[in-house]
Every structure is written in structure tokens, then in C-alpha cells.
Structure 1
Amino acid sequence: MKYLWRLLPISFIVLLSGCGVENLSALDPQGPVAEMQFSLIQLSLYIMIFVLVVVFAIYIFVIFKFRERPGDTHIPKQVHGNRTLEFIWTTIPILLLLMLAIPNVMDTFTLANVEVEQMEATEDGEEGTDYVRVQVTAHQFWWEFDYPDYEITAGQDMYIPTDTRIIIELLASDVQHSFWVPALAGKQDNVPGIQNDMWFEAPNEGVYMGKCTELCGPSHWLMDFKVIAVDPDTFETWATNMAEPPSHVTEPEETVAADGRTVFEQSCISCHAVGAEGGNIGPDLTNFGEREVIAGYLEYDMDNLEAWLRDTQEYKPGNEMPSFNAEAINDEEMEALLDYLDSLKVLEE
């Protein structure tokens, strides 16, 4: 019983293995970049397993072959200075390291060759059809996605077309962050004053979870985002409607939502944009009603949205968004504001 504590690490590993989030794993690669990186993981794993098996086999063989036996006092043959053995155990590690180094170096140059890939994509067809360029700016503690070729900005949710090269330009507005969508590509840092580049493709439609992986403040662990891959036609519709939102987004006819628009203009528009109107201090809200989460991680429903607006520091400590108590926005105004925010959808009316 006294040795059972040694099983605790294994128990924790088994327990944590069930804590994964869908599409937040590098072990389920989607697209050429993730598959390339996964193949390197597999290669490293196979080489390590090979080394482990060989070393343990030699270890067990030596234990049994040269174990002390009753009455046996002879000294085993000494191999110190044996050039053949020294050549073997020097050459084999070199070969194994080369097996790791060559594909790693080749894939590193392939992944880093963003400009060439962009030029090749442009030569294949019209700009904006064979590749999409996205400037990803990290803030404490949210994400901004600019599409320069479409002249639109999105917040928290990054929409991309499937089977299209996505060229990512990574920036940071305050401290260092790190962009990671494990199912699509490895992580890359967002560094203030420096632009890092990367690219990936999503072959299948779906929602791919992303996270910040650089400690950036008290709410670092809540700095999640989504990459939403849709078919190219749906993406073009989304981009068009983000640039010129439907009338129900900017001028709602329904009475409660219209009142909510007024509250929004009085309390929120200086920081958040809807369509062409508003500030850029906080995330763009043009398609807010299509999100699945609030503040990056809260389940999307009106109760959570009101709770977030009433006390933002409770749910995301250290963020710069002010809270709106009953004196700032009364219950009737809050209900109208929630109705308006929920109506902000560009892909469905």
C-alpha cells in the first residue's frame, strides 16, 4: 500500500486525457500545415520508441547475460577502447538526428515561405479567390481579424473559406501574445512592433478552436477564439454583408431592437463598431448575434450576455471594457440592448 502513491502521476494523466476540447488538438490534423507538423510528431515519436526499445533490450540482455552467478569469479571481457563499438554507438545517433533534422528543416522552410506562396496563389487566379489575407491583432484579452482585401474587420470569430490558402499576418497591440489553432497549424507569436507571418488551409467546414498560448495577463487563460471555415460562396456572402451590413443590422425596424440600437449608440458605439459606424477599441460587433460564445468563453445566451455587461471584471479580470450597472443602463434599456445585439447577424435574417 505504501507504494500506491507512485500511481498518482498515471492517474492524473488518465484524468486529464478526458479534459480535451473539440478541435483543440494537434493530434487531429486538418489541412496541409497541420498534417505536415503531425507527420513530424509521428517521426519523432517513432524514433524515440525505437531508441527506447533498443536501449531496454540491450539493458535487459546485459542484466541476464552478465549477472553474477554463484562461484563465478572471472572478470568479463572488457570492451573499453573497442573502435568498432565506439563507431557504432556514435554513428547510429548521428543517423537518427539526421532523420529528424532533414524533414524538420525542409518543412520549416516550406512553412516560412509565406511570400512565395502568396505570389504563387496570385498567379493561379484573381486576387481574393485563391488566397485570403488576414491581419490578426491580439489585444488584452481579445482578437481582432482584419481582411485588407475586403476592407472588413471581425472580432473574436475568424471566418475563412475552405480549400483556400489563408495568409496570416500576426500583430499585437499591447503585450506579447501567441496565436494557436492546433487543428490547423502550430503556434506563432504576436509580438508588439514586429509582424510574424504564417499560413494554413482548412479542407473541411467546421469550427476550429484557437487560444492564446503566451502568458499575457490575468485573463490569459480566457483569451479564446474560433476559426470558422465555410464554403467559399458562404464566405463571399459573409464578407460582402460585413462590408455592407443588411438593413436590420444598422437600422432595425422592430421596436425593441430599434430602442436597443439607441442604447448602443449612447453607451457602446465609441468602442465597438457595427458596420462602418463605431470605434475600434473593442471587438467589431457587426455579426455578434452569430457567435457561439460571449467574451471568448461564456455560452451564448441572454442571461450570460447581461451578466457580462453588468460586471465585465467578474468574468474577465483585467480587461478594459467598462461595466454597466443599473444606473448606467436600466433594466428596460438593457433588455432592448440585448435584443439589438442578438439581431446582429449577416448570414441569416
Structure 2
Amino acid sequence: MWKTWRLLSLLLLVTLTLSGCGEPFVSTLRPAGEVAEDQFYLMVLSTFIMVVVVIVVMAIFTYVLVKFRRKKSGDEALPKQVEGNKKLEILWTVIPIILLLILGVPTVTHVFGQADTKVMDKEKRNPEDALVVNVRANLYWWEFEYPDYGIVTSQELIVPTDEKVYFQLKASDVKHSFWIPSAGGKMDTNTENENRFFLMFDSKKSAEAGEYFYGKCAELCGPSHALMDFKVKPMPKKEFQDWVKSMENYEQSTASATAGQGKELFKEKNCLSCHAVTPKDERPEQARTGPNLATFGERSKIAGVKDFNDENLHAWIKDPESIKPGNKMTGSYGELKDDEIQALAEYLKGLKTE
């Protein structure tokens, strides 16, 4: 018995310790935008109501347990029966109704408010007033298209702060789910229909979070589901407009002879059949079978999960399966020699807007 209690205590301690682990701003308990704050408020409100109900019920239970316990052995006297008491019946019927109204009214209000995406349907929508991002989920990467600017990126989502960003979600293969925990609740990406919603990113909270927020797939989609991450980089409106201009005027550069060799190898291995290397990718979405690599050299992660450095980049090019099982690039170009991997890595690192 003692061993069982020791094991349970240890498990409780481990659970408590692990609950404090994780990357910064990957928690719904640290809201960083209007939508997330509204959802956090509803969560706190519902938790408060539940705690109050539990406390009241436990208090009544304890009172009844003590008040009406058998006083002495052989005492068979029954306490006064209150069955059919109209006042009590009305009381414990009205109280739950009131509690449901307190929770239900703000919930319905916020849900309908957050579902308002009518601005996306305007034929002459001004992108300055309503930024729209088409999100396409793939096994196991994310594509972000800015239709009003003709820009396509992958893996890192760039958004302005302190304004609504409207998302149009779709999947190209199986069901996924788009989720930025600190910005708002998740929404499914389906193959047969498009879902819409909006998020906001608070400038002050963005500064506290650092350079990036974290996004994830929240729907089990395959062996690398847990590795289907993306980064969100919020920036002030002026900086976002500068980023748009830099993407619209994007030009490739090969900074070294090795990078030039990598560029030629990139063509020889037919990588361009899947990967675009310019943000102005006018191919239909069905033809975009691999992540857009236009700003690959500026990313913070390799394959969305590994730190950006030479070692991880070489490992990803050499054996993608070892890093992200089930990805579509595995085995697509055959074995590469070390000097070829080096050349490709130099070329990819040079893909920048600068």
C-alpha cells in the first residue's frame, strides 16, 4: 500500500513539474490578442462558476453530513422531510438558470462576433483595411498566401499587429487544424470546404513574446503531426508594409561560387517541380506541392522544428525522413554527395529578401 502511494505521489509531482514546461507563448493562458483575450475571459468565467457551484455543493454536503448524522447507536429517528418543498424546488431550479444565462449570454455574443467575416466577401476589399491570408495545410508544412499582394510564403506567417487578420483555411491532402495558442482557438482545415475566421495580435504582448509566436497543427494527421509547426512573426503596420514591398521586389542572389553550384544542382535535381524560389508564385495551388523557399535563408527553423544552422540544414537535405517521418520530400532526389549537400545548403541560405 505504501509503495502505491509513493508511486502516485511521484506521478503527481512529475505532472505538476511538466505543467510548467513549454515554449513561451504556446499557452492559451497567456493571451496575446483580442480574440484570445475574449476566449480567456470566457474560460475564466466558466471556471469561476464551476468552482462556486462545487464549493456550495460541498458546503451543503458537509452541513447535511454533520447535521443529520446518527447521534447515537440505536437512534432510528428520521429528520424532518422536506420533499415537495416549493421554495426549495424553485430555488434550485432558478439558480442554475441564472448561472447558465451569466455564462451563455457572453459566450453567444463572443462566438457570433468572432464569426463575423463578412468583410472578406466584399468584391472591392481594401487590403489596408482587411488583410486576408489564405492558409493551406499540407503533410507536413504550411503555406500562406496574401492574395491582395500576390505573395506566397511557407512555414513563417508575417502579420501586422493591432488589427484584424482574416484567415481562409483549406487542406490539400487530409484534415489538419490551424492553431496559434496565444492568439486564439483552433480551426480545422478541410479538403472539401474552406473555413474562415480572424485573429488579432497585440503589439505589447508581441514585444513581450519576442520575435515569434508559435503555431501548430491541432488535428492528428500522420506520423509527423507533432512536428507540423510554424512560426508567426507579428510586426507594426509600417514594418509589415515594408516587408510586402521587399517581397514584391524580391530578387534571387548567389553570394558565392558554391551557392551558384547549388543553384544549378537545384535545377538538375528537378527541385523546382515542387519548390518555388520566388514569392510571386502564380501557379495554381494544386501545383504547389512543396514549401515556397523564397525566404528560406531568413527562417528561424529548419523543417519548422530544428534550429537554423549548418548541421541541421545538412541533415535535413541528406535525410529528411530522420527529421520529419512521412514527409513527401523523402527519397525524391536520390542520394547526394557531401559537396552537393554543401552547395545546396549555401544556395538555400542565400534565399533572402535582403
Query: TM-score, with normalisation over the residues of structure 1?
Result: 0.91
Partners of 1:117 and 1:136 lie apart in 2 by: 14
| 1:253 positional shift | 4.4
Conserved 8 A contact 2:318-2:335: no
Partners of 2:112 and 2:100 lie apart in 1 by: 18
| 1:116 positional shift | 4.5
Instruction: Please tell me the root mean square deviation across aligned C-alpha atoms, in Å.
Output: 2.1
Partners of 2:101 and 2:338 lie apart in 1 by: 67
Match of 1:315 in 2: 323
Conserved 8 A contact 1:257-1:343: yes
SS of alignment partner, residue 285 of structure 1: coil
SS of alignment partner, residue 273 of structure 2: coil
Greater shift, 266-275 or 2-11, is seen at 2-11
Deviation string, structure 1 residues 76-128 (Cα, Å, up to 9, x no partner) = 11111111111111111111111111111111100001114876x95xxxx22
Counterpart of 1:59 in structure 2: which amino acid? Answer: F
Query: Aligned runs of 1:180-219 on 2, under 5 Å?
Result: 180-204=179-203, 205=206, 206-219=211-224
Q: 255, 258, 261: which is aligned to 1:256?
A: 258
SS of alignment partner, residue 128 of structure 1: coil
Structure 1: runs of 5+ lacking an equivalent: none
Conserved 8 A contact 2:253-2:351: no
Deviation string, structure 1 residues 33-56 (Cα, Å, up to 9, x no partner) = 011100000100110110011011
Partners of 1:318 and 1:328 lie apart in 2 by: 17
Match of 1:296 in 2: 304
Query: Aligned runs of 1:34-45 on 2, under 5 Å?
Result: 34-45=36-47
Structure 2: runs of 5+ lacking an equivalent: none
Partners of 1:329 and 1:240 lie apart in 2 by: 36
Q: Does 1:51 align with 2:53?
A: yes
Conserved 8 A contact 1:43-1:100: yes
Q: Does 1:238 align with 2:246?
A: no
Conserved 8 A contact 1:139-1:172: yes
Counterpart of 2:247 in structure 1: which amino acid? Answer: M
Query: Aligned runs of 1:126-275 on 2, under 5 Å?
Result: 127-204=126-203, 205=206, 206-246=211-251, 250-267=252-269, 268-275=271-278
Query: TM-score, with normalisation over the residues of structure 2?
Result: 0.90
Conserved 8 A contact 1:310-1:323: no
Match of 1:79 in 2: 82
Partners of 2:232 and 2:255 lie apart in 1 by: 31
Partners of 2:86 and 2:120 lie apart in 1 by: 49
Conserved 8 A contact 1:118-1:131: no
Identical aligned residues as a percent: 41
SS of alignment partner, residue 169 of structure 1: strand
Match of 1:287 in 2: 295
How many residue pairs match? The answer is 338
